[in-house]
């Protein structure tokens, strides 16, 4: 059978099995596999919902006659084929929370079809592509396709959070000879920037120069994957009303309450609520950040209390109006992978101190040791403590590699377009592979709304992606 004939047969197979595919995917979408630390157990390290999703996939694999292994609740693998070499396809079954349920057109954990699009949390990231990979194995088995390499679908449970899943998996299992993760974009994501999630923290001294305007508290959601899109600032003191008034054209300002001060006199407490469009923290250049607005208003305020002034000075000198980490002394540009990015994702302050979360991403040419050294220098300069939460090493694979050459050929044959390699700030399991990249499933122009309400997946795009994947798996 020629490769072109097999491509046509691939499409016929999926068209004839679309009802069972969407039924299986719908059942998987219905499992709200968000990490739940309250229900963790020895075989469910990420909680019961993710354990339930793993059990669904185990039952699916057994039903279809595939070899399946459960790796202590951290990951699964489902395999087909024979051969001394292996091709790994990496997916994840965990999803982010639904978010604002009122913003969804349909219930978040019910899959619905609107025209060509499937809607539901996880339908693109990453349950739809996962089910597509499993149906590729099912097709190979049904059509008795001879493969000279074993195909191993590896499924993790903590891609959206801590990545313990792939760490555990590859601590106990060999790397595949080739691999890819359908958790990115086409054509070929051959580079993913290094990622450092960190915080700067300061504990306040017992005595604070109160000044004429004091920031009593700052509240924002601690979501390290997003920009700082909401910020509530509480001000008090003689000049609090005057300072709050400067925000009135860009924020909601209210008199929160009247409280008793330490000397039993009444003091007014003003609440300033800032909001900006939500965006992923890897794309800080796309939107204004609440932190930037906050600093623009506060940098020239005279009479701030000592603790508040320390925070404003730190933000102004190191982060405000600087998306490329230039103010941190870490700006770097690579011809292939692009530039560094830096994004403040949350600011929180109370009577005890403050915490500033930020996301720093960097291309090749800058090392994590260089970044850590510079960040330690900055933290010492401003009297704050640097806390590192998670580090994901960058990944890069040469466009001349055998894997990328095979992918480029398959992509061009199906789409009739050149397969350009590019880099992203996003994190996929590709960076856990020694020889792998992120590859699809979405095409330029696809609207997916990943991590947002009304996440969606185009069935036509998915079928094209499946055709490309099949070509790659056969050709390697």
- What's the pLDDT tens digit per position in 318-359? 999 999 999 999 999 999 999 999 999 999 999 999 999 999
Q: 270 and 307 in contact (C-beta within 8 Å)?
A: no
Indicate if the pLDDT at residue 250 is higher than 60: yes
Task: Please state whether 66 falls in left (phi above 0), alpha (psi between -120 and 50) or beta.
Answer: beta
User: What does DSSP assign to residue 403?
Assistant: H
Task: Please state whether 325 falls in left (phi above 0), alpha (psi between -120 and 50) or beta.
Answer: left
Global pTM value: 0.85
Cα separation, 190 vs 423, whole angstroms? 6
Selection from 476, 435, 396, 439 nearest residue 177 by Cα = 435
Residue 202 confidence (pLDDT)? 96
Residue 261 confidence (pLDDT)? 52
Cα separation, 248 vs 258, whole angstroms? 20
Give pLDDT tens digits for 22-48.
999 999 999 999 999 999 999 999 999
Indicate if the pLDDT at residue 197 is higher than 50: yes
Please provide residue 194's backbone torsions phi and psi, each rounded to the nearest 5 degrees. Answer: -65, 145
Residue 211 confidence (pLDDT)? 83
pLDDT band at 275 (very low <50, low <70, confident <90, very high): very high
Residue 358 confidence (pLDDT)? 98
Q: 404 and 190 in contact (C-beta within 8 Å)?
A: yes
Selection from 317, 315, 254 nearest residue 289 by Cα = 315
Based on the number of CB atoms within 10 Å of its own CB, is 66 exposed (0-12), middle (13-18) or buried (19 or more)?
middle
Lowest mean pLDDT segment, chosen from 136-145, 203-212, 221-230, 410-419: 203-212
As a dihedral over the C-alpha atoms of residue 218, residue 223, residue 225, residue 228, rounded to 10 degrees, the angle is -20
Indicate if the pLDDT at residue 88 is higher than 80: yes
Give pLDDT tens digits for 163-196.
999 999 999 999 999 999 999 999 999 999 999 9
Find tokens 């950040």 and name the residue.
Answer: 289
With a CB cutoff of 8 Å and minimum separation 6, the contacts of 86 are 149, 150, 151, 152, 174, 176, 177, 178
pLDDT band at 1 (very low <50, low <70, confident <90, very high): very low
Please tell me whether the peptide bond between 384 and the residue prior to it is cis, using omega within 30 degrees of 0.
no
Q: 147 and 470 in contact (C-beta within 8 Å)?
A: no
pLDDT band at 258 (very low <50, low <70, confident <90, very high): low
N residues, the chain: 476
Based on the number of CB atoms within 10 Å of its own CB, is 176 exposed (0-12), middle (13-18) or buried (19 or more)?
buried
Cα separation, 271 vs 216, whole angstroms? 10
Based on the number of CB atoms within 10 Å of its own CB, is 146 exposed (0-12), middle (13-18) or buried (19 or more)?
exposed
Indicate if the pLDDT at residue 266 is higher than 80: no
Lowest mean pLDDT segment, chosen from 68-82, 116-130, 199-213: 199-213
Instruction: Give the mean pLDDT of 113-140.
Output: 97
With a CB cutoff of 8 Å and minimum separation 6, the contacts of 439 are 180, 181, 182, 184, 186, 188, 189, 407, 430, 469, 472
Indicate if the pLDDT at residue 257 is higher than 60: yes
Alpha helices in 284-429 (DSSP H): 290-298, 306-318, 368-381, 402-415
Indicate if the pLDDT at residue 207 is higher than 90: no
Please give the mean pLDDT across all residues of the chain: 94
End-to-end CA distance of the chain: 17
List % helix, strand, coil for the chain (3-state, nearest 5): 30, 30, 40
CA 103 to chain centroid, in Å, comes to 20
Give pLDDT tens digits for 235-244.
999 999 999 9
């Amino acid at each position: 059978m020629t490769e072109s004939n097999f491509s046509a047969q691939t499409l016929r197979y999926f068209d004839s099995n679309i009802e069972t595919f969407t039924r299986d995917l719908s059942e998987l979408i219905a499992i709200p596999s968000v990490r739940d630390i309250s229900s963790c157990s020895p075989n469910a390290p990420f909680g019961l919902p993710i354990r339930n999703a793993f059990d669904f996939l185990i039952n699916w694999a057994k039903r279809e006659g595939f070899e399946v292994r459960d790796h202590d609740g951290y990951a699964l693998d489902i395999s087909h084929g024979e051969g001394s070499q292996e091709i790994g396809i990496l997916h994840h079954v965990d999803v982010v929370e639904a978010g604002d349920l009122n913003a969804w057109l349909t219930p978040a954990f019910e899959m619905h079809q609107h025209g060509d699009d499937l809607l539901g949390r996880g339908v693109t990231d990453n349950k739809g592509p996962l089910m597509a990979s499993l149906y590729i194995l099912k097709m190979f088995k049904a059509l008795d396709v001879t493969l000279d390499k074993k195909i191993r679908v590896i499924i993790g449970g903590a891609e959206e959070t801590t990545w313990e899943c792939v760490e555990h998996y590859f601590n106990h299992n060999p790397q595949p000879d080739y691999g890819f993760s359908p958790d990115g974009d086409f054509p070929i994501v051959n580079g993913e920037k290094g990622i450092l999630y960190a915080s700067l923290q300061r504990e306040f001294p017992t005595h604070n120069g109160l000044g004429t305007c004091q920031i009593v508290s700052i509240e924002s959601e601690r979501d390290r994957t997003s920009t700082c899109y909401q910020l509530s600032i509480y001000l008090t003191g003689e000049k609090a009303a005057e300072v709050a008034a400067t925000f009135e054209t860009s924020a909601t300002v209210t008199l929160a309450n009247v409280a008793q001060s330490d000397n039993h006199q009444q003091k007014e407490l003003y609440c300033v609520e800032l909001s900006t469009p939500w965006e992923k923290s890897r794309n800080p250049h796309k939107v204004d950040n609440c932190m930037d607005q906050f600093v623009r208003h506060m940098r020239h305020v005279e009479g701030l209390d000592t603790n508040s002034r320390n925070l404003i000075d730190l933000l102004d000198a190191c982060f405000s109006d600087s998306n490329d980490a230039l103010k941190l002394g870490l700006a770097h540009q690579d011809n292939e992978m692009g530039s560094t990015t830096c994004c403040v994702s949350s600011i929180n302050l109370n009577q005890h101190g403050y915490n500033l979360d930020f996301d720093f991403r960097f291309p090749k040419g800058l090392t994590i040791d260089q970044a850590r050294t510079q960040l330690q220098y900055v933290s010492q300069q401003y009297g704050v403590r640097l806390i590192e939460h998670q580090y994901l090493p960058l990944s890069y694979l040469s466009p001349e590699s055998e894997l990328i050459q095979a992918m480029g050929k398959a992509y061009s044959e199906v789409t009739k377009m050149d397969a350009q390699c590019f880099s992203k700030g996003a994190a996929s399991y590709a960076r856990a592979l020694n020889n792998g990249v992120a590859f699809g499933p979405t095409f330029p122009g696809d609207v997916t709304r990943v991590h947002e309400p009304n996440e969606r997946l185009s069935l036509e795009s998915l079928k094209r992606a499946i055709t490309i994947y099949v070509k790659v798996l056969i050709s390697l």
